[in-house]
Amino acid sequence: MNEVNLKWDQLGFEFQPTRANLRFAYRDGAWQPGQLFTTYDVTLSVASNCLHYGQAIFEGLKAFRCRDGKIRIFRPEANGERINSSARHLLMPEFPVADFVEAVKTVVRENQDYVPPYGTGGSLYIRPVMFGTTPQIGIASSKEYQLVFLVVPVGAYYKGGIKPVDAMISDYDRAAPRGTGHIKAAGNYAASLYPSKVAKEHHCQVALFLDPGSRRFIDEFGTSNFLAISKDGKRYLTPESTSVLPSITNLSLMQLAKDLGLEVERRPLRVEELADFGEVAACGTAVVLTPVHRIFYGDKVFTYSEEIGPVLRKLHDRMLGVQFGELSDEHHWLTEI
């Protein structure tokens, strides 16, 4: 039963406050016990590391109200492991994966009225964010941190849901060849804002980035990983690159593709190969699996179906079927709260 009165079927991807967020502070070399807060404000020195030197990382995962009425979270351990990989790279403290999963369960339980009802297509997006709070003026890693788990009820990231979007290959890079593209650093998203604005000015909802080293291969979208289906519908292709985020959705879709009998190829994908693909999509927690209609590259345009293609449709339906508890969770991806 949802006591919260929201227009569930009109949810987009907008921040709105919920009942509680869960916060952990790191000081004196240790994480302190979590505390629930009902406000969204933090008190921070203007000299805090995260404001000047960018020690800020985050995660994104979802909880679903399933067909049987129970609430389940999709692969929280994987996000727990990834936040630690981000933390290691930016010299931030790791948070034990078991505690991460427990924190996610707690914050979802505290906000369970905000999990959209089954049948609306919505879910509860969980956003863990960690930032360095030590006031300092010399460049060094912070000594104190906060890790906050907040939640937001969400619907489709791109208006239109699975209606294919247009993408534009960016003239800019979001990451460096040996930089931070493989972790979920807040700064990567700041770097993608201007290229995304340029893409929108060209009527493309999303920017597609090339590998920043040679700019000959496809990397990923600003919001999500890139995947393609071969014209014969038998192969699932996705870039192998050191500057893309290892997407948990992509990893799961690769497994579902194998289950459906597709061959999975994870290798560098040359830009010219865009002409060989039958179906193309963006995938990630927020965008789920969003098909791509056209990709603009200078004066070239690669065109795919105006509606979701048959293989992407199968993958999409399998994924959501598992997440909403309509199909069996064969790979043990769901955690009940």
- Residues lying near ligand COI in the complex (CB under 6 A) are found at 60, 223, 284-286
Q: Among residues 170 and 223, whose Cβ is nearest to ligand COI?
A: 223
Supply the minimum distance, in Å, between the C-beta of residue 261 and ligand PLP.
23
Q: Among residues 20 and 284, whose Cβ is nearest to ligand PLP?
A: 284
The mark string for 217-236 relative to ligand PLP (x by CB under 6 A, - otherwise) is ---x--xxx-----------
Residue among 289, 293, 310, 311 nearest 302 (CA): 293
Q: Which partner from the list ligand PLP, ligand COI, none does 196 bind, CB cut-off 5 to 8 Å by kind?
A: none
Supply the minimum distance, in Å, between the C-beta of residue 287 and ligand COI.
6
Q: Which partner from the list ligand PLP, ligand COI, none does 151 bind, CB cut-off 5 to 8 Å by kind?
A: none
The mark string for 280-319 relative to ligand PLP (x by CB under 6 A, - otherwise) is ----xx----------------------------------
What is the Cα–Cα distance from 7 to 109, expressed in whole angstroms? 21
Residue type present at position 310:
P
The residues that bridge with 127 in the sheet, in sequence order, are 150
Tokens of residue 178, six digits? 């040996």
Q: Does 247 bind ligand PLP (CB under 6 A)?
A: yes
Tokens of residue 196, six digits? 């995304």
Q: Does 211 bind ligand PLP (CB under 6 A)?
A: no
Supply the minimum distance, in Å, between the C-beta of residue 201 and ligand COI.
19
Supply the minimum distance, in Å, between the C-beta of residue 328 and ligand PLP.
22
Residues in the interface with ligand PLP (CB under 6 A) total 12
Q: Among residues 105 and 174, whose Cβ is nearest to ligand PLP?
A: 174
Beta strand 35-37 with 21-27 is antiparallel
Q: Which partner from the list ligand COI, ligand PLP, none does 153 bind, CB cut-off 5 to 8 Å by kind?
A: none
What is the Cα–Cα distance from 168 to 294, expressed in whole angstroms? 8
CA dihedral 137, 138, 144, 150 (to 10 degrees): 70
Q: Does 245 bind ligand PLP (CB under 6 A)?
A: yes
Q: Does 60 bind ligand PLP (CB under 6 A)?
A: yes
Q: Which partner from the list ligand PLP, ligand COI, none does 111 bind, CB cut-off 5 to 8 Å by kind?
A: none
Collapse the DSSP code of 73 into the 3-class scheme (helix H, G, I; strand E, B; otherwise coil) and give the result: strand
> How many Å is the maximal CA-CA distance in the chain?
58
Tokens of residue 188, six digits? 């990567």
Residue among 236, 267, 170, 159 nearest 209 (CA): 170
Q: Nearest 5°: phi and psi at 294? A: -135, 145
User: Which of 216-227 are b and which e, b meaning 16 or more Cβ less than 10 Å from the residue's Cβ?
Assistant: ebbbbbbbbbbb
Q: Does 180 bind ligand PLP (CB under 6 A)?
A: no
Radius of gyration of the chain (CA): 20
Contact set with ligand PLP (CB under 6 A): 60, 220, 223-225, 245, 247-250, 284-285
